[in-house]
Amino acid sequence: MSTAAIRRAFEDRGHELPGTAQTHAQRRRALDHFGELGLPGRRIEAWHYTDLSSFADKAFDFFAPVPDDAALDSAARLLASHAPIDSGTRIVFVDGHRIESLGDAKADPSIEILPLTLESTALADDSALSALNTVFLREGARVRVTGRAQAPIELVFVGTGRGFAPQLKLAIELAAGAEATAIVSFIDVAGADEGWLNLVTDLTLGEESALTLYRLQTHDAQLNHTAIHRASLSRRARLVAAHVERGGKLVRNEFEIALQGTEAEAHVFGLALTRDRQHCDTRIVIDHSAARTTSRQDYRAIVADASRSVFNGKVIVRQHAQHIDARQRNDNLLLSTKAEVDTKPEFEIYADQVVCSHGATVGELDEEQLFYLRTRGIDAESARGILTTAFADTILERIAHEGFRERARRVIDDALPRTIGIG
């Protein structure tokens, strides 16, 4: 959809969106801002390897109706094979609408789940995609954690494969000293129409709070997915964000993490498995603006067929942020000569007492390792499987929550035989 077509869609049906005259004006301002920026693409530095300008030719529907019985049925069937990972509250969205009957609310005095509206969220429509999110945002979820949450909060986004383009928002706010784990997953009923999910996630971590955010993306091959995670961390707050990407058509996943309080810590690690003609782009920006802050980035991609993986990890250390420890790693395993990897580390360092490191590798399976395994009686195909699994495991074994780790491992293991050509 071109910018003009998006504007037309808003003019025609924008009145159906919830909110007051004030919010409507807010949407319109965001639309103007989006109009100025346009769909992001190569001309923007941060989008060097991923271009959404092709979206101009596609017909996305920003006004997914409230799911009817048939849609709810297919969503319920899909959910039946995606059992809850833990015993906490489960929130389910279908085509962008929260469906309470498919969710499961558990009482936990330290967690409050509120509806998310435009009025309730802070605005930061700096980028085209977050502006677009504001224009069509219908709902989302706001999770407030005031103590130590008893079990992870699970958020499941289900698509029914009908070419919708829901604009969704999550806000997770941790009070000082609070602790929580959130598990976000994306699943779809296989569909013929190309869809697009655009999600903005705001994470606010109070002093000495700790948030673990897990993300498991197993979209259908017809789904485009753009996600922006913006986090701000106060003094001694700790964020662990682990993401596993296995599905989708074009996927862009951004993490913008501001370490604003001293001794705040962010660990972002991820694993992507791309196949066919998938395109998966992960961008991580960590902004150290306070002293004695720590960051870790560790991202691995297994890139098969004619797919493409992009990694752009950026570390900014502000002038007065001394005693910083920032490390970044990106390792890529190419399983096909047609696969492509683009990796780009970036560092902007304005302080002088900084420990900073980065490393990136792009390679195929190691022939010496393959031969060694074969001399132990393991056939060539299994040896390839073992080494590919081992490559993925380096990330997976760092996932602390056992249920999520095993779910993620299964998602990768199930996809591997076909990925390495032994299925």
Partner 1 sequence: MNLLEIENLHVTVDGTGILKGLDLVVRAGEVHAIMGPNGSGKSTLAQVLAGREDYEITAGSIRYQGEDLLQMAPEERARNGVFLAFQYPIEIPGVNNTYLLKAALNAQRRARGEAEVDAFDFMRLIKDKMKVMQIAEEFLHRSVNEGFSGGEKKRNEVLQMLMLEPTLAVLDETDSGLDVDALKLVASGVNSLRDPQRSMILVTHYERLLELVVPDVVHVLTGGRIVKSGDQTLARELDARGYDWVQREAGAG
Using CA atoms, how far residue 25 sits from 31, 118, 191, 412, in Å, is 10, 11, 35, 44
Best CA proximity match to 165, nearest among 195, 193, 124, 136: 195
Q: Tell me the one-letter amino acid at 286.
A: I
294 DSSP β-pair partners: 265, 325
DSSP state of 85: S
Best CA proximity match to 110, nearest among 31, 25, 175: 175
How big is the site for partner 1, counted in residues (CB under 8 A)?
A: 23
What are the backbone dihedrals phi and psi of residue 368, each rounded to the nearest 5 degrees, phi first? -65, -40
Q: Enumerate residues 378-417 that contact partner 1 by CB under 8 A.
A: 378-380, 382-383, 386-387, 389-391, 393-394
Which residues lie closer than 8 Å to 367 by C-beta, 6 or more apart?
none
> In this chain, which of 3, 53, 289, 369 binds partner 1, going by CB under 8 A?
369
Between 155 and 244, name the residue whose CB sits nearer to partner 1. Answer: 244
Q: Per rule CB under 8 A, is residue 13 in the interface with partner 1?
A: no
> In this chain, which of 86, 349, 373, 413 binds partner 1, going by CB under 8 A?
373
Between 56 and 362, name the residue whose CB sits nearer to partner 1. Answer: 362
What are the backbone dihedrals phi and psi of residue 362, each rounded to the nearest 5 degrees, phi first? -135, 120
**Cβ 398 to partner 1 shortest distance, Å:** 12
Between 189 and 373, name the residue whose CB sits nearer to partner 1. Answer: 373
Q: Which stretch binds partner 1 (CB under 8 A): 79-87, 114-122, 202-210, 368-376?
A: 368-376
Between 53 and 394, name the residue whose CB sits nearer to partner 1. Answer: 394
Q: Which stretch binds partner 1 (CB under 8 A): 23-31, 163-171, 177-185, 362-370?
A: 362-370
> In this chain, which of 45, 68, 352, 368 binds partner 1, going by CB under 8 A?
368
> In this chain, which of 372, 414, 417, 421 binds partner 1, going by CB under 8 A?
372
What tokens appear for 41 in the block?
């693409």
Best CA proximity match to 402, nearest among 82, 83, 86, 148: 86
DSSP state of 67: P
Binding interface with partner 1 (CB under 8 A): 366-369, 371-380, 382-383, 386-387, 389-391, 393-394
